[in-house]
Amino acid sequence: MRKYETIFILHPSLDEEAVKANVEKFKGVIENGGGVIENVDFWGKRKLAYEINKVGEGYYTLVHFDANPELPKELDRVFRISDAVVRHIIVKNEK
């Protein structure tokens, strides 16, 4: 198991329930793929440094998790096909 962190930005037009549902969906992808979630930080609605597809703000969420090397590929695929995600990144923590 390796340590990873991901941060994703959800579209600002989503209501609070939809934001929570999307966060739970992504947590489920990690847990169902054999990963272990260490920490979830929901930062709330923040302004982006620059506009992405004419969107100037979004809901930020940071997740720290342990997983096998195949899980980030699946999580990346799920992020890419989700219309709610404005931007995401998955990083392997090296210590």
Whether 67 and 3 have beta carbons less than 8 Å apart is answered as no
Mean pLDDT split into 10-residue runs, the chain, 95 residues: 95 94 94 93 94 94 95 95 95 87
Q: What is the pTM of this model?
A: 0.90
- Which phi and psi (to 5°) does residue 78 adopt? -65, -40
Whether 90 and 16 have beta carbons less than 8 Å apart is answered as no
CA distance 74 to 85: 15
Q: Can you list the domains of the chain with their CATH numbers?
A: 2-87 (3.30.70.60)
pLDDT reported for residue 94: 83
